[in-house]
Structure 1
Amino acid sequence: MELNRRAFCAGMAGVAGMALARPALAAPDVLSARKASVQLAPEGYPATQVWSYDGTIPGPLIRVPQGGRVTRQLVNELDVPTSIHWHGIRIDNAMDGVAGLTQEPAAPGETFDYDFAVPDAGTYWYHAHTNSMEQVARGLSGVLIVDEATPPDVDRDEVLMLDDWLLDPETGLFAEPFDHPMMMSHGGRTGNLIGVNGQYAYAMQAETGERLRLRLINAANARIFGLKLEGMTGWTVALDGMPLDAPEPVRDEIVLSPAQRVDLIVDVTASDGPAGLLMSLDGDSWEALVEIGVTGARPRRNAAPAPLPANPNTALPDLSNARRFDMVMEGGAMAGMDSATYQGEQMDFRALIEKGQFWALSGQAGLFDTPFASLKRGEVARVTLTNRTAFPHAMHLHGMHFREVRADGTMGPLRDTILSVPDAPLDIAFAADNPGKWLFHCHMLAHAASGMNTWIEVA
């Protein structure tokens, strides 16, 4: 039996009227990584045994003012080591949470104290970064919001964390093994159940004319979401936490790859018709991912929203003396590679597969002792990403944001994760302004686990 949205339709009558849980507005001083039982699937299906922060999916919402500090103690109640990465934050390197690169993971029964400043307002998230492919898939993630000193003129601020889970419909358990060769060598671990804020059927209420800020976060292991608005007019105001220079009207499909975020400001225009956030099923058909029940009306704002205040130190990098690097992505099914270096030894593709390494970045499979690039603080790097595989890759840089350098020489908005598609080279550039060892990897987490991991050193 396939566990998907259509399979649940028959049981949705009772679910539609249920009160749906929202992330809490306050977080404890302790984040406990532990096992819990959560009803991810609709009632009538078994509950799922998850790994979670404080027993909820997603974990507690952490909300702090810009310029404030996040202070949390990770308490590991699991029977495996774990650590927390604070995704998108320009953070002190020792707090980045990458096991084996910036810290040793917290062993079972141990703790690790995270304490860092948050310089940038925006939408961020946190997730496990020890055996991420499995631990994130089992539920170890949550939302981190850094509030602007002057918030935008909206009636409500809504967080929508999109995710999927690969479950056995008979038992409610996660399908295993997590390192299935088919998933590792193809598009990654894609779930058969899709939800928002830990709920299969997510609904909210709004009034005609209401202006909402929607913070969309893709927490899925591999799924690329194609989204569009229904019964709403919207503007994109920030990407990956970083404000755009000016709001951009939403006219087309919103593509959100794993780990990316988008902040929208939307006006509800529907009066008696449907409203919500739709997701693409197959490129031609759409289905409601978030349903908005429209009741009542209020005066509508006539003007487009103002830009969000800019974050500090976000000037365009000077490309005139940028150091150039080439990052070639190879491997996977239907493409493969002749050979790559793994743990200091040159191996052919068959030998790499036997080691569980299906992918390589610039001829290297897995994390090496030497960095992909060594940069002096303040240097500008320009990296050409060339995707020679048959699959897209969501490339994520820790500790810094970058900009795409377009063919005409102009630069795109700041991002920390960018989608690279086959046979479409793209250039990114960034100022190496944050010292430390920073991971650079594919956020299709099965790809990272099987080769697509490297790092950049800034000294």
Structure 2
Amino acid sequence: MNRRQFLASASALALLPRQVMAAQDPLRLKAEAVVQQVLPEGDGMTAMLGFNGAMPGPELRVRRAQRVTVEVENGLDEGTAVHWHGIRLENKMDGVPVLTQSLIDPGRTKTYSFVPPDAGTYWYHSHYISNEQVARGMMGPLIVEDDVPPDVDHDITVLLSDWRMQEDGSLVEEYSDMHSVAHGGYMGNFARGFLSKSTVQVGDRVRLRMINAATNRIFPVQVTGVSGSIMAYDGMALAVPRPLTQVILAPAQRADLIVDVEADVGFDMVIRDGLYRLADLAAEGTNTDRMPSPITALSPPDLPIPDTPSQHLTLTMMGGAMGGRHDGDNIWAFNDVSDLQEEPFGTFQRGETVRITMVNDTSFPHGIHLHGHHFYEVGEGNALGDLRDTTLVDAGASRDIICVFDNPGRWLLHCHMLSHAVGGMRTWVNVV
């Protein structure tokens, strides 16, 4: 990401549209072609895909434990489907063609209806040829509001992504080129953040909801002009808030922060030769009403407590450039098998606790996402660590997770580096 930091990076403000859920009315999303100002004002506009005339799509804000109905109209000239990432919903609403639904054909509408059980930061995106449709812009934030919101002056979403562009703003549409798929994935040469608010005041206490919506890029993010705490990962509140340091977000991962504003707020990606500015949040004026106070934890999630695991499985990531041979018939594989097969990776009884060792036997990091569930990352001494729906496993490393499979259905398990998923790194589990 060089060449004058590709037009000096994205310090121009980009605001997210917002759509708040009314109690009795369905939300409506129309997938369609859009033209968006992604590069700074004055540079070329970009022909993309989006929802409701915009990229990213509107921020949907809904209530925990209340039914959400979303009518998705397909205004594209190809099929699509929408996945509600991180929501522990009914299987048939998960938005995965083949496993949970048929495609939404052009000109047709599908109604999704689910009850989100957990407050937190989530997002929605295409799950059909998603390495291409998400790269072209089919994404948006989904916020499940707290029953009792924390004491903050502003609740601001920061959606991050990147795009591979020409200098005139047109996309380089090489989403499945073999080199990218076999390496780190289709990466952009331009990145930016979209914010739901443009200004704050010095002295404000602000909740920042950071979402990595990129198809393949890991964002190491440094937030300046603030002090505060990390409150949640992947929508799940931490029992004890952690001091704010650099936040590393693999594709699809999220982090909630609560911070006190001390100056203009900057969001920088840490890169090899310095910092790359993703977004700015201007501090205008001073909040003289707020008094200093400790930052307290968010309400804890209500998830089942793991029992002693009744199965211990191993999921080995294989293939790619500089990787070993495997018996799969695509570039990447899990356990010598590429792509979805008739038989699942695992079959579990509803409520069963399972331990999975994820072994990355490749030369690249992978962000492994499990649909329909959250799981515990296992720490030192077998201690239960953070709750996640997507875990980042570095090249040559391994990670154990423990999951209570309490949500029945056929659930996708895949690398959320979407180039790796289309290259074969995807399987599924069956909860009966």
1:364 pairs with 319, 324, 337, which one? 337
CA contact (8 A) 1:235 1:265 kept: yes
Aligned residue for 1:447?
Answer: 420
CA contact (8 A) 2:16 2:58 kept: no
1:332 pairs with 320, 336, 351, which one? 320
Aligned ranges 1:189-228 → 2 under 5 Å: 189-197=186-194, 204-228=198-222
Distance apart, 1:4 and its partner CA: 5.9
1-side partners of 2:14 and 2:72: how far apart? 27
CA contact (8 A) 1:404 1:413 kept: yes
Aligned residue for 1:7?
Answer: 6
2-side partners of 1:206 and 1:68: how far apart? 31
2:403 pairs with 419, 430, 455, which one? 430
2-side partners of 1:275 and 1:425: how far apart? 35
2-side partners of 1:5 and 1:260: how far apart? 28
CA contact (8 A) 1:189 1:221 kept: yes
3-state SS in 1 of match to 2:381: coil
Structure 1 residues 321, 125: CA separation in 2 closer, same or farther (over 3 Å shift)? closer
Aligned residue for 1:70?
Answer: 68
Aligned ranges 1:377-388 → 2 under 5 Å: 377-388=350-361
1:267-323 deviations in Å (ceiling 9; x for gaps): 1123xxx532222021x52233222322322345433211111222243x12x3431
RMSD between aligned residues: 2.0
CA contact (8 A) 1:66 1:146 kept: yes
CA contact (8 A) 1:3 1:168 kept: no
1-side partners of 2:93 and 2:282: how far apart? 41
CA contact (8 A) 1:323 1:381 kept: yes
Aligned residue for 1:167?
Answer: 165
Counterpart amino acid of residue 9 in structure 1? A
Structure 1 residues 290, 44: CA separation in 2 closer, same or farther (over 3 Å shift)? closer
CA contact (8 A) 1:235 1:247 kept: yes
1:389 pairs with 352, 362, 368, which one? 362
Aligned ranges 1:258-269 → 2 under 5 Å: 258-269=251-262
Aligned residue for 2:274?
Answer: 285
Counterpart amino acid of residue 178 in structure 2? P
1:297 is aligned to 2:286: yes
1:385-417 deviations in Å (ceiling 9; x for gaps): 000100000000000000111231111111000
CA contact (8 A) 1:161 1:218 kept: yes
Aligned residue for 1:253?
Answer: 246
2-side partners of 1:296 and 1:100: how far apart? 53
- Range with bigger deviation, 138-147 or 303-312: 303-312
Distance apart, 1:39 and its partner CA: 1.4
1-side partners of 2:309 and 2:391: how far apart? 23
Counterpart amino acid of residue 291 in structure 1? D
Distance apart, 1:191 and its partner CA: 0.6
1:414-456 deviations in Å (ceiling 9; x for gaps): 1000001122111001001000000000000000001100001
Aligned ranges 1:2-401 → 2 under 5 Å: 6-9=5-8, 16=12, 20-26=14-20, 29-170=27-168, 172-197=169-194, 204-250=198-244, 252-270=245-263, 274-282=264-272, 285-299=274-288, 301-315=291-305, 317-318=306-307, 320-337=308-325, 339-341=326-328, 352=329, 357-401=330-374
3-state SS in 1 of match to 2:5: helix
Distance apart, 1:45 and its partner CA: 2.8
3-state SS in 1 of match to 2:18: coil
- Range with bigger deviation, 144-153 or 33-42: 33-42
1-side partners of 2:2 and 2:104: how far apart? 34
CA contact (8 A) 1:203 1:291 kept: no
3-state SS in 2 of match to 1:7: helix
Aligned residue for 1:457?
Answer: 430
1:190-223 deviations in Å (ceiling 9; x for gaps): 11111112x8xx9832222110000000000111
CA contact (8 A) 1:26 1:60 kept: no
Structure 1 residues 203, 280: CA separation in 2 closer, same or farther (over 3 Å shift)? farther
3-state SS in 1 of match to 2:350: coil
Structure 1 residues 249, 302: CA separation in 2 closer, same or farther (over 3 Å shift)? same
Distance apart, 1:178 and its partner CA: 1.4
CA contact (8 A) 1:236 1:248 kept: yes
Counterpart amino acid of residue 265 in structure 1? I
Distance apart, 1:64 and its partner CA: 0.8
2-side partners of 1:452 and 1:7: how far apart? 31
1:69-105 deviations in Å (ceiling 9; x for gaps): 2211111111111000000000000000001111111
For this pair of structures, how many residues does the alignment match?
427
CA contact (8 A) 2:15 2:197 kept: no
Structure 1 residues 188, 411: CA separation in 2 closer, same or farther (over 3 Å shift)? same
3-state SS in 2 of match to 1:408: helix
Counterpart amino acid of residue 129 in structure 1? H
CA contact (8 A) 1:206 1:292 kept: yes
CA contact (8 A) 2:89 2:116 kept: yes
Q: Scaled by the length of structure 2, what TM-score is found?
A: 0.94
Structure 1 residues 5, 385: CA separation in 2 closer, same or farther (over 3 Å shift)? farther
Aligned residue for 1:348?
Answer: none
Distance apart, 1:47 and its partner CA: 1.4
CA contact (8 A) 2:28 2:72 kept: yes
- The alignment-based identity, stated in percent, is 42
Counterpart amino acid of residue 275 in structure 1? V
Counterpart amino acid of residue 331 in structure 1? G
2-side partners of 1:32 and 1:330: how far apart? 38
2-side partners of 1:107 and 1:449: how far apart? 21
Distance apart, 1:26 and its partner CA: 3.0
Distance apart, 1:231 and its partner CA: 1.9
Counterpart amino acid of residue 303 in structure 1? S
Counterpart amino acid of residue 355 in structure 2? R
Counterpart amino acid of residue 340 in structure 1? D
